[in-house]
Every structure is written in C-alpha cells, then in structure tokens.
C-alpha cells in the first residue's frame, strides 16, 4: 500500500505502536460499555 501513496510520509514505528495500543484499549472499553448497555438490569431486592 505504501507503494501507492509515495507522497505520504511513513509514520515512525514508535507512533504506529503507540496508536495501535491506544486503539486496542479504546476498542476494549467500547466493547465493555456496549455489553453493559445491552445486559439486562437485574436488581435483587431483599
């Protein structure tokens, strides 16, 4: 793909790894929030 966009500056490896880590964390948080919204609200009253 980089061959197609020669005018684009290739990002540094450190930037790619930090972005990838942030993205995986963000997706995990979003998934957890999604499950919490969809889960049935079970409240037990004694």
Residues contacting residue 2 through CB under 8 Å, at least 6 positions apart: 8, 10
- pLDDT per position as a tens digit, 21-45: 999 999 999 999 888 888 776 665 6
Query: What is the biggest distance separating any 2 CA atoms in the chain, rounded to whole angstroms?
Result: 67
State yes or no: pLDDT of 2 exceeds 60: no
Give pTM, 2 decimals.
Answer: 0.59
Instruction: Note the pLDDT of residue 15.
Output: 93
Question: 10 with 2: CB under 8 angstroms?
Answer: yes
State yes or no: pLDDT of 12 exceeds 70: yes
User: For residues 9 and 42, which has the higher predicted lDDT (pLDDT)?
Assistant: 9
State yes or no: pLDDT of 11 exceeds 60: yes
């Amino acid at each position: 793909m980089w061959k197609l966009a020669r005018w684009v500056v290739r990002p540094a490896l450190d930037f790619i790894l930090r972005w990838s880590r942030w993205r995986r964390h963000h997706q995990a948080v979003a998934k957890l929030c999604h499950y919490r919204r969809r889960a049935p609200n079970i409240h037990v009253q004694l």
